[in-house]
Structure 1
Amino acid sequence: MKQGKSVQVLGTVMLALTIIFCILPFLSMFSAAVQPQGSTPEGIQFTAHPHWENFVDAWNMANITPLLISSTILVIVVVPCVVIFCSLGGYAFAQLRVPFKGLFYMLFVVGLTIPFETLVTPLYYEISGMGLLNTRLALMPPLIGLNIPFGILWMRSCFEQMPRDLIEDASIDGAGYLRTLRSIQLPLALPSISSLGILTFLATWNQFLLAVVLENDPNKRTMAGALQAFVGQYQTDVVLLNAGALLIMAPTMILFVFLQRYFIRAMLAGPVKG
């Protein structure tokens, strides 16, 4: 009995410490964001008269409105494409007889091991050769391709854990592969599909390096590119930088609040089981 209480207390302490370490950076950023502009905040310190106008100034200074539109368009295109392609590919790798399936799967595994930074320069010349450089389409194909290897492995693991009894019953009833996928397996795979969509959203929304390389027009970059507006050649406004960073993180935090059930279920249990 005492040992059980000790374990419970230890778990509570560890959870509390984890929460504190997670919240401290956000508290530090928020306290710095409401300080007078031009000051240099140190640590966590709150002022008696918080400057809420800093968020408005940060929004206007970084010209976030066109970046918000650009990132939204990018997410609307990239996330559905990755989810659809990876769901179909994962289903094929898990349950269909595909020639050279093992070889193709290993190629996707190898794709996960390649450092992202080594692909930036080749992608630049490829996109330039396609005539897409400095257009809204410049970021879409690379981001779709870069997210597919992980998505294929994620969804393959999901479909491999589907209940075989349901699949066999559907086959006996005359359902083909597509009918089985649409009517039985996709509904069961919804948590894995949702978590893949969330992870793809985060990777797309927070993309910075690729957006800077492929887009010369600052208004066509992602929201993460707005941070450049606060870093000058000779000085950096730390207050507005923190305010802008919080504005950029807000959409991802809001998304997590609404979809945390799927995200946490996927992170704790892995791909959904039947």
Structure 2
Amino acid sequence: MRISPAERAGNYVILVLFSLVALAPIVTILRTALAPETAADAATGAPLHVENFARAWEQGRFGEYMLNSVVIAALVVAVATVCSIMAGYALGAFEFRGSQALFYLFLVGLMVPTEAIVVPLFFDFRTVGLTNTVWGIALPQMAQSIAFGTFWMRSYFRGANRSIVEAARLDGAGHHRVLWQVLVPVARPAVVTLVLLTFMWTWNEFLIPLVMSPNAQLRTAPLGLALFQGQYVQGTTLLAAGAVLVALPVVVLYLFLQRHFIQGMLEGAVRE
């Protein structure tokens, strides 16, 4: 199918317009973060004030909060990715009694909102002494991420090349070797997409850390930003700088993995 020059130009115009709409808030936040905070800063005449990020980092204690977020996100991503791969392989590559019912049980985890379970979970975790701990914040997010990850990896393994699996089994490979040495390397785009989405959701989670750490011993980056907002309601410059700092890890990880992420999303769309 040939596309006329007018249609191609129209497509580019639409893409440019959507890009401007998407980038406008980001540019506004960056401009605000780099603006002078005080009259003394404005008097220097510098066009960009990168020192705002250092001030926000120190005054908002983002170093401590982001370290908590990194630890929690690393735990959630590692456990959820491994469990999702194994569960997706079991439900996608095999048919056994109760497999459909088990898969639907995983889907329930996608349908139940966090707001419906966080309060009962808090009382359960408080009973066993898991509140105000890393595991108290990480475990609910692991469960939610495994529910999506199982659905995601099951779709991939159901569409995997059967000839590769059969060839590996003819060579004497067992299920463990077929999964980790044959299918997982081929499924790298899907796994990278799962890792990136899980990291993003865990990093941006606000409600679970807020409820599971009632004495605020384990504030994560979003909670720290909310506290910073309460301290600097009028100081939009430092608030914007803090927002950039909190969002930066997700942006950097996406830029680093974008090729695999886009490939994984496209493959998932084709399979579905």
Q: TM-score, normalised by structure 1?
A: 0.89
Residue 165 (1) aligns with residue 155 (2) = no
Q: Secondary structure at the match of 1:26?
A: helix
Tell me how far 1:51 sits from its aligned partner.
3.0
Tell me how far 1:173 sits from its aligned partner.
2.7
Query: What is aligned with 2:79?
Result: 81
Query: What is aligned with 1:43?
Result: none
**Kindly, what percent of the aligned residue pairs are identical?**
34
The letter for the 2-side match of 1:74 is I
| Higher mean displacement: 111-120 or 144-153 | 111-120
CA distance in 2, matches of 1:181, 1:269: 19
CA distance in 2, matches of 1:23, 1:271: 25
CA distance in 1, matches of 2:153, 2:92: 9
CA distance in 1, matches of 2:91, 2:219: 35
CA distance in 2, matches of 1:126, 1:194: 33
Query: What is aligned with 1:138?
Result: 136
Q: Is the 8 A contact 1:34 1:51 kept in 2?
A: yes
Write out aligned runs for 1:32-71 (5 A). 32-37=32-37, 49-71=47-69
CA distance in 2, matches of 1:175, 1:56: 54
Query: What is aligned with 2:148?
Result: 150
| Higher mean displacement: 212-221 or 91-100 | 212-221
CA distance in 1, matches of 2:234, 2:225: 11
CA distance in 2, matches of 1:48, 1:183: 55
CA distance in 2, matches of 1:234, 1:75: 27
Alignment deviations for residues 181-202 of structure 1 (CA, whole Å, 9 cap, x no partner): 1221111111111110010100
Q: Is the 8 A contact 2:36 2:237 kept in 1?
A: yes
Q: Compared with structure 1, are the counterparts of its residues 50 and 170 closer, same or farther at alpha carbon in structure 2 (3 Å cutoff)?
A: closer
Q: Is the 8 A contact 1:38 1:239 kept in 2?
A: no
- Match for residue 119 of structure 1 among 102, 117, 120: 117
CA distance in 2, matches of 1:137, 1:109: 23
The letter for the 2-side match of 1:172 is L
CA distance in 2, matches of 1:18, 1:139: 37
The letter for the 2-side match of 1:27 is V
CA distance in 2, matches of 1:241, 1:32: 9
Tell me how far 1:89 sits from its aligned partner.
0.1
Q: Is the 8 A contact 2:190 2:264 kept in 1?
A: yes
Tell me how far 1:3 sits from its aligned partner.
5.3
Gaps of 5+ in 2: 40-44
Query: What is aligned with 2:42?
Result: none
Query: What is aligned with 2:10?
Result: 10
Query: What is aligned with 1:42?
Result: none
Q: Compared with structure 1, are the counterparts of its residues 219 and 21 closer, same or farther at alpha carbon in structure 2 (3 Å cutoff)?
A: farther
Tell me how far 1:235 sits from its aligned partner.
4.0
Count of paired positions: 266
The letter for the 2-side match of 1:58 is A
The letter for the 2-side match of 1:103 is A
Tell me how far 1:109 sits from its aligned partner.
1.4
Tell me how far 1:178 sits from its aligned partner.
1.7
Q: TM-score, normalised by structure 2?
A: 0.90
CA distance in 1, matches of 2:59, 2:217: 13
Q: Is the 8 A contact 1:124 1:214 kept in 2?
A: yes
Q: Compared with structure 1, are the counterparts of its residues 51 and 229 closer, same or farther at alpha carbon in structure 2 (3 Å cutoff)?
A: farther
| Higher mean displacement: 115-124 or 77-86 | 115-124
CA RMSD, Structure 1 to Structure 2 (Å): 2.3
The letter for the 2-side match of 1:198 is L
Q: Secondary structure at the match of 2:130?
A: coil
Q: Compared with structure 1, are the counterparts of its residues 234 and 159 closer, same or farther at alpha carbon in structure 2 (3 Å cutoff)?
A: closer
Query: What is aligned with 1:201?
Result: 199
CA distance in 1, matches of 2:20, 2:33: 20
Q: Is the 8 A contact 1:192 1:272 kept in 2?
A: no
Query: What is aligned with 2:186?
Result: 188
Alignment deviations for residues 31-70 of structure 1 (CA, whole Å, 9 cap, x no partner): 112234379xxxxxxx864333221111112101111211
Q: Secondary structure at the match of 1:35?
A: coil
Residue 103 (1) aligns with residue 134 (2) = no
